[in-house]
Amino acid sequence: MKVSQRTEYGLRAMVALAGKYDSGLMSIKELAEQEGIPVAFLEQIMAELRRAGLIVSTRGAYGGYALEKAPNKISAGQVISTLEGSLSPARCGAKCDKMSGCSTRSVLKRIEDSITDTLDNIYLNELVKAGIDE
């Protein structure tokens, strides 16, 4: 599995918001500068995260972004699946003519389940702490 740059940026932005969770809103400019992400690209990512209910935004001179829930309630899996979609290493789908009797489907499904389980059990607060401890 390889995540896109968009997903990496989104996860980094979410970890940055988690680090400032008790400090209020972060402006898009502040977030973009801190993480080295182009503002226009970050705006697109943040819009998708907002639509997914992971962040909230406030407009205006003192506006910005914040996490919708506490950092210990948002998993890396939620962020990554919102931005990346399926985490499956396979291209299995309804159009595959090998769906029944596929010799590799079970192992690929186990890989997908393992990745999903791992990401769903890593929370933003842990990633903030990991960044501080490094």
All residue ranges of the chain with pLDDT < 50 are: none
How many Å is the maximal CA-CA distance in the chain? 59
Distance, in Å, from the CA atom of 14 to the CA atom of 20, rounded to the nearest integer, reads 10
Domains defined along the chain, listed by start = 5-87+123-133 (1.10.10.10)
- What pLDDT shows up at residue 82? 96
Distance, in Å, from the CA atom of 118 to the CA atom of 77, rounded to the nearest integer, reads 8
- What pLDDT shows up at residue 87? 75
- What pLDDT shows up at residue 20? 94
Helix (H, G, I), strand (E, B) or coil at 26: strand
Q: What is the pTM of this model?
A: 0.88
Helix (H, G, I), strand (E, B) or coil at 123: strand
Distance, in Å, from the CA atom of 56 to the CA atom of 71, rounded to the nearest integer, reads 13
- What pLDDT shows up at residue 126? 96
Quick one: how far is CA 119 from the chain centroid? 10
